[in-house]
Structures are given as C-alpha cells and as structure tokens.
C-alpha cells in the first residue's frame, strides 16, 4: 500500500512537472505561429520608407526594423506607452507614444516624421488613410471620375475617412486636375487601407499598404 501510495505521489509530481514544462512550450509554439500578443496599453509603430534606396539600420524603441526596400512599409511593432527612440540609422529622435494609438514613421529626403492615428472603435467600415508625402500643399483623394471627395491632406500630413466596403479605383487630385490613378482595391470591412503618395517622375507614385 505504501509503495502504491508513493508511486501515485510520484505520478502526480511528474504530471505537475510535465504540465509546467509543456505549458511554456505550448505558449512558445503559439508565439511562433501567431506572434506575441501585445499587452494592454501598448502603442503600435511601423515605418514607411519613402526614399529611393533601401533602409537597413532602422529601429523602433531599440528593436531593429527589417530591411525596407524603397516605398515599402514595415510590420507594426508594439512597445509600452512612453518615450521611445526612433532611428533610421542616419537620423534619430525620441518620441512620446500614447497607449492604443497607431503610429506611422515616414522616412523621406526631409528626414523622419511621426504620424499618430487613433483607429475607429468599430469595424463596420473600411478605413482609408491618405498620406501626402509630396511638396504639394493640398492633395485630394477622390473617386476616379473626381465626383466624390474622400480625403484631403496637406504636404507632409495625412487624412482619414471611413467608407463602406466596395471595390473601387481612386484618383489623386490637385484641385480639379487628376495627377494619378490607383490600382483597383477591395475596401474590406474592419481593415485599414493606407495610400502613400510620394514624388515621382511626371506624376506622383502611389503605394497601397493594407493592414
């Protein structure tokens, strides 16, 4: 009886030990599959390379950013709310980041600029974010025929608009003059569609980034 009792104690001890071993492994597997989950109160930051060369030594809050080709955006990284150092490798600055906000750091010939966005509380519509990274003082995002205005942004600024889900082709205008036309895009409910407008030869370069 004593032996059996001791054996059961050892069985339970091994089960507890194995549970303790496997739980972190399972969590590690989940993290490997899905990525770590952001703690409450995090700020979310990404970088967009609006230069014609690759960005290789950038970092956000001390965490390295993957190499970004020209006109490419990084994934969002999450950091605790507070002041963090943002670096492109050749330029750095400290930025105060608020909880539950999404930040896009744009890097162009003029240096880096930080844009702060608070996302909509519901996901019933698609969110269009229009970044004007040109020297044009006012650009408008409209339907392709120019009949309906969606957003307007000054030089170096951005504007947002929530729209119903649909497949659409849009145009970038300066007043009544159409400068460029986007590729057709499926604006889906609950997702964000960022359109970056950067200088180009003859007409602006348009880059969609879909989150």
Q: Which residues pair with 101 in a beta bridge?
A: none
Looking at the structure, tell me whether residues 86 and 67 fall in a common domain: yes
Domain with 170, as residue range(s), is: 123-211
**Chain mean pLDDT for the chain:** 85
In a shared domain, residues 178 and 203: yes
Cα–Cα distance between 162 and 192 in angstroms, integer? Answer: 9
Residue after which a domain boundary falls, among 118, 147, 165: 118
Model confidence pLDDT, tens digit, residues 78-116: 999 999 999 998 899 999 999 999 999 999 988 999 999
Q: Is residue 27 part of a domain?
A: no
CB 194 within 8 A of CB 187: no
Please answer whether residues 44 and 18 qualify as being in contact, where contact means their C-beta atoms are separated by less than 8 angstroms: no
Q: Are residues 103 and 128 in the same domain?
A: no
Looking at residue 186, what is its pLDDT? 97
Q: Does residue 63 have a pLDDT over 50?
A: yes
Between residues 43 and 27, the one the model is more confident about: 43
Helices (H) and strands (E) in the chain, counts: 1, 19
CA distance 146 to 171: 7
Q: Is residue 75 one of the residues assigned to a domain?
A: yes
Among 94, 118, 142, the domain boundary falls at 118
Residues 148 and 174 placed together within one structural domain of the fold:
yes
In this predicted model, what pLDDT tens digit does every residue of 164-195 receive, in sequence order?
999 999 999 999 999 999 999 999 999 999 99
pLDDT at 35: 52
Does residue 101 fall inside a structural domain?
A: yes
Give yes or no for residue 25 having a pLDDT over 60: no
| Secondary structure (DSSP) of 20-60 | HHHHHHHHHHHHHHH-PPPPTTEEEEEEEE-SSS-B-S-EE
Backbone angles phi, psi at 26, to 5 degrees: -65, -40
Q: Is residue 58 part of a domain?
A: yes
Tokens 């400068």 sit at which residue? 179
Q: Is residue 133 domain-resident?
A: yes
Q: Are residues 128 and 210 in the same domain?
A: yes
- How many structural domains are present in the chain? 2
Confidence of residue 38 (pLDDT cuts 50, 70, 90): confident
Residues 130 and 191 grouped into a single domain: yes
In the 8-state DSSP scheme, what is residue 124? S
Same domain, 103 and 143: no
CA distances from 167 to 52, 163, 187, 188, 192 (A): 30, 11, 6, 8, 14
Q: How confident is the model at residue 37 (pLDDT cuts 50, 70, 90)?
A: confident
Q: So what's the pLDDT on residue 36? A: 67
Residues 92, 159, single domain; the answer is no
Is 80 exceeded by the pLDDT of residue 8?
no
132 and 62 part of one domain: no
Q: What are the backbone angles phi and psi of residue 33, rounded to the nearest 5°? A: -75, -45
Residues 150, 110, single domain; the answer is no
Q: Which two tokens stand for residue 158?
A: 């951005």
In a domain, 170, yes or no: yes
- Which among 150, 78, 68 is positioned nearest to 112, based on CA atoms? 68
Is 5 or 82 the better-scoring residue by pLDDT?
82
Let me know if residue 171 belongs to a domain.
yes
| 129 and 207 housed in the same domain | yes
Q: Is the pLDDT of residue 24 over 70?
A: no
- pLDDT for 122 equals 78
CATH number at residue 133: 2.60.40
Residues 164, 187: Cα–Cα separation, whole Å: 8
In a domain, 33, yes or no: no
Average pLDDT rounded to a whole number, residues 17-21: 35
């Amino acid at each position: 009886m004593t032996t059996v009792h001791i054996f059961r104690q050892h069985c339970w001890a091994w089960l507890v030990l194995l549970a303790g071993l496997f739980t972190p492994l399972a969590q590690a597997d989940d993290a490997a599959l899905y990525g770590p989950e952001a703690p409450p109160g995090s700020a979310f930051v990404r970088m967009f390379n609006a230069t014609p060369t690759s960005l290789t030594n950038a970092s956000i809050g001390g965490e390295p950013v993957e190499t970004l080709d020209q006109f490419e955006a990084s994934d969002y990284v999450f950091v605790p709310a507070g002041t963090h150092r943002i670096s492109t490798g050749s330029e750095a600055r400290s930025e105060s980041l608020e909880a539950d906000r999404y930040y896009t750091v744009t890097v162009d010939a003029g240096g880096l600029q930080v844009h702060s966005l608070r996302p909509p509380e519901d996901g019933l519509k698609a969110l269009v974010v229009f970044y004007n990274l040109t020297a044009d003082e006012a650009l408008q995002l409209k339907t392709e025929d120019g009949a309906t205005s969606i957003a307007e942004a000054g030089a170096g600024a951005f504007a947002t608009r929530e729209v119903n889900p649909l497949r659409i082709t849009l145009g970038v205008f300066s007043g009544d003059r159409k400068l460029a036309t986007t590729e057709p895009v499926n604006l889906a409910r609950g997702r964000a569609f960022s359109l970056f407008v950067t200088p180009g030869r003859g007409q602006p370069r348009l880059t969609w980034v879909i989150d």
